[in-house]
Structure formats: C-alpha cells, structure tokens
Amino acid sequence: MKYAYYPGCASHSTARDMHESCLAVAKALGIDLQEIKGWTCCGASAAHQTDRILAAALPAANLLLAKEMNLDMVVNCAACYSRSKNTNYDVVNSPAVRKKVKNALGQDYDGSVAVRHFVEVLSHDLGPAKLKKAVKQPLNGLKVASYYGCYLLRPPEVTGFDNPENPTLLENLVEAIGGEALEWPGKVECCGGALNLTRTDITVARSAAIIEIAKAAGAECIVTACPMCQTSLDLRQLDMVKTTGKTYNMPVLYITQLIGLSLGIPPKELGINRLMVPPKAVLQALNL
C-alpha cells in the first residue's frame, strides 16, 4: 500500500495533530505515504468563493505532481479532499474549465488521479478486519459519536465517499478498535466551519447544536476526519459557554488519534496534548 500524500496547509498549523496521527497510524499499519514534494495550497474555501478557475487550478497543480509519481493521492484533510475531488469532477465534466486550468498551469490535467481520503484507505484498502487484528489496546466499549460533516459526503456525485445521509465508514472503524459506535442523528449536519472567523456566532450555534445531539445520545467523545469540524467543535467549545451557559467538556478527536491510541501509539505522538478540550474520558477508558 503506497500512496502520494498531500498533507495540506493545516497540517503544519491548526491541524498538526491530524497530520501527526495520520503518519503515526500509517506507519504502524504498514501504509507507505510519500509526501508530494513542493506541494502547494489547494485554495480551500477562499478560492471557490472567489473564482472558479483559481479553485480548480490550485488543486490541479498537486494532482499533476501525484500523477508524475504514478500513485493515488491520499489526503487526510477533508477540505483539501473536497477541493481535489471537485477539481477532478470539474475538469472531466467541463471542457471550458479544463482548458482554462491548462492555460493557468501551462500543463494539461485530465482529472485521472484517484483522490482518496485516509479513512477510505483504512476502510477499503486495509479493511476493518485487518485493523482489528492490529489493535493492542481496545477501547473497552467507549461510546463514540462519529461525525462526518460536509466535505467528505457532499456533493455525493463528486466525493463518492459513502452514503450521504447515513454514512458508516467511521462507525465501522470505531467498532474495529473496540468502541461502541453510537447511532445518532447529528452525523451529517454542518458545523458552520466555513464562517468560523467571519460569522463566529453561526459556527458556535451550529457546533453547539451538534454537541448537544451527541451528548443526548450518550457520547463520551466525538470523532471526526475534518480539521474544520474539529476546530469548530473543539476550539469553539470555549465560546459555547457564553451563548448556551453550558460547559460541555466533550472531547473531539481525529479518528486517526483514536485509532492510534488503540494501536498502542503513545498519546504524544498522536498530538493528543494539542486538543483544546482534554480527552480525559477517552484516556481513562484506555487506562492511560
């Protein structure tokens, strides 16, 4: 299992824990992630809110580098995954976009590089059964709410990640490492992350509603695969007390962090110490 790895800008800033835990888990499971040399920003939401060609050409630059490596491109940031998938979809379905992207890059991109989220690699290429065999420290029935958010799921014809209304990839991974994957109705809701700095009020309200739903379902922690969702649900908990009057203390981990703990990887190597809400319940369940 060898892939071209696109870390994305957040991997060196707000989502270092996402990046660290992804690399640690990949290493422990024998998944070879070759970082793309010279990779550049995918443009994130700022590009698609500004200009369609900018939004397609920025990810295409990285996809072309992956193409030279002759490997599928693995992305662990859900936002970068979404932008790269959208680029593939756009250049394949719109000759006008493909032409303009070619003009911007000085190189044609045909949309042929497969873009895979690391969760897809774990779910389909490795598989939950193999993951289960590698577990050293099962979660002892820890109650986990699996949260997907938007970027992985929608639009379904672009991402093709999972069933857009009732996805189960994360739940299957949680069960494989010995957790109890909760049935809860909040998993495909939007956290409001796109407006985290510009309309913080909306992000805080949306994210508080999601944490309420998880709490009502009995969750001891939430797992996500998106750095925007993680930031909204974790960092913005500090603001929720002002609007809801409640301190939730709900740990919000990357799925790769939870998997890493179950594989016996030391918390520090998974960036557990970087979480804003310390995951005490999780560490207790694992006797750590």
Partner 1 sequence: MTIRIKKRSTGKNLRTEVEKRAEVDLATCYQCKKCSIGCPVSGLVASPPAEIIRRLQLGAGDELLQTDLVWTCLSCETCYARCPNEINFAGIIDAMRAIALEKGVARPAGNSPLFNRRFLDTVKSYGRAYDLQMIVGYKLGTGKLMDDVEKFPTMLKKGKMAILPPSGADKSKVKRIFNAAKSKGKSR
Residues within the interface to partner 1 (CB under 8 A): 9-10, 12-14, 16, 38-41, 43-54, 57-58, 61, 94, 100, 103-106, 150, 153-157, 164, 189-190, 192-195, 197-200, 202, 206, 235, 238, 271, 273-276
Nearer to partner 1 among residue 118 and residue 151 (C-beta)? 151
* CB of residue 138 to partner 1, shortest distance in Å: 28
Pairing relationship of beta strands 32-35 and 143-146 according to DSSP bridges = unpaired
Nearer to partner 1 among residue 137 and residue 200 (C-beta)? 200
CA proximity to 36, closest of 79, 70, 78: 70
- Positive/negative CA dihedral, 62, 66, 72, 75: negative
239, with CB counted inside 10 A (0-12, 13-18, 19+), is middle
Whether the Cβ atoms of residue 233 and residue 226 lie closer than 8 Å to each other = no
* CB of residue 13 to partner 1, shortest distance in Å: 4
Nearer to partner 1 among residue 11 and residue 126 (C-beta)? 11
* CB of residue 198 to partner 1, shortest distance in Å: 4
Nearer to partner 1 among residue 69 and residue 135 (C-beta)? 69
CA distances from 116 to 69, 132, 191, 195 (A): 15, 21, 23, 26
Pairing relationship of beta strands 180-181 and 115-117 according to DSSP bridges = unpaired
- How far, in Å, CA of 226 to CA of 151, rounded? 8
* CB of residue 96 to partner 1, shortest distance in Å: 9
Nearer to partner 1 among residue 54 and residue 69 (C-beta)? 54
* CB of residue 86 to partner 1, shortest distance in Å: 10
* CB of residue 59 to partner 1, shortest distance in Å: 10
Nearer to partner 1 among residue 273 and residue 287 (C-beta)? 273
Q: Provide φ and ψ at 191, rounded to 5°.
A: -80, -10
Whether the Cβ atoms of residue 231 and residue 196 lie closer than 8 Å to each other = yes
